[in-house]
Amino acid sequence: MNIQETNQLLIRIQVIDNRQIGDSTVIAWHELVGDLDYGMAVEAVKLHQRESTAYLTPAHVRAGVERMLLASLGEREDEWGNRIEPDAVALAAYRCAVSGRKEIGS
């Protein structure tokens, strides 16, 4: 994501938690999440805000994106061969992010 998208992401977060955003905040966040896809980051923020009362940090966004990507891999097994239940919430968020990307590209 570019620096403007990082700013937009922080504005989305600010609406919920009323954090203060300045240029230094945008730069710091961009250094930590700028390599992520914007749509995936937005969906990760939504996941966090639906499920947690913890103050959102860049690590939460990264973990949310990782959770969605893992869910997108389909059925998996643990190291003992037991089926791992799919993360339906994360998979839905992933699909939303991907469909949003296709709409923008059209």
What confidence score (pLDDT) does residue 13 get?
A: 98
Q: Which residues are registered as beta bridge partners of 83? A: 77
Range of the domain at 17: 3-105
What confidence score (pLDDT) does residue 77 get?
A: 86
What confidence score (pLDDT) does residue 96 get?
A: 93
Whether the CB-CB separation of 103 and 84 falls below 8 Å is answered with no
What confidence score (pLDDT) does residue 102 get?
A: 55
**Structural domain count of the chain:** 1
Token pair for residue 22? 């300045």
SS3 32: helix
Total-model pTM: 0.87
